[in-house]
Amino acid sequence: MNKQRLTSTLNKAKQVCLEHGRKFTVQRKQILQILLTTDVPLSAYELASCYKLRTSSSVSVMSVYRILSFLESVNLVRRLNSANKYIAYGTDSEVFKREISLFLICRHCQKVETLAVSQSDVAKLFPHFADVGFTSQTKQFEMMGVCSECQAKLA
């Protein structure tokens, strides 16, 4: 993410927080910025380390968790269940728009590609889904594999 988009995204993120009647504090901004400028998901502890390295200040891991759950609650951050790590999105991304997301996670370089999936696609995908009367609340799917770049390198 380039500098201009980053600034724009951070500004929009602030708006989002204010719309929720919440604050966009320095720590929240820093954590979000770290996630936005890193191309791999980070754990809460990795975020705390990064924070120290980048800002000459520091933040407790406890606070990182609180900040992450706040950012998740306003849809600026997602947690990857298969990695126990966190990832952020621009406010123009499908993720932010609350659509269902498909995360393609590369086992080699750890990078994550994000695709949008519609409700109807999910229904198509799982033909027997409706039969069992299950009401889904899932907003994301995760797939592990190898990205195109790493495939090329490995070939």
Q: How far is the CB of 57 from DNA (least distance, A)?
A: 8
Q: Which of 12, 40, 46, 109 binds DNA (CB under 7 A)?
A: 46
Helix (H/G/I), strand (E/B), else coil: 21: coil
67 interacts with DNA by CB under 7 A: yes
Distance of alpha carbon 28 from alpha carbon 7, whole angstroms: 14
87 touches 111 (CB < 8 A): no
The response to whether 147 counts as a known ligand-binding position is yes
For 150, residues 6+ apart whose C-beta sits below 8 A from its C-beta are 106, 108, 109
22 interacts with its own copies by CB under 8 A: no
- How many residues in total does the chain contain? 155
Q: How far is the CB of 126 from DNA (least distance, A)?
A: 25
Stretch that binds DNA, among 6-14, 16-24, 106-114, 119-127 (CB under 7 A): 16-24
61 interacts with DNA by CB under 7 A: yes
Q: What is the dihedral sign for C-alpha 130, 81, 96, 112?
A: negative
Which of DNA, its own copies, none does 53 bind, CB closer than 5 to 8 A by kind?
A: none
CA R_g for the chain:
17
The strand pair at 85-88 and 77-80 is best described as antiparallel
Q: How far is the CB of 25 from DNA (least distance, A)?
A: 3
Helix (H) or strand (E) holding 17: helix 3-19
Q: Considering only residues 75-114, where is the footprint of DNA by CB under 7 A?
A: 79, 84-85
Query: Which residues make up the interface to its own copies (CB under 8 A)?
Result: 81-82, 102, 104, 106-107, 113, 115, 117, 121-122, 124-129, 132-138, 141-148, 151
Q: Which residues are annotated as a binding site?
A: 106, 109, 147, 150
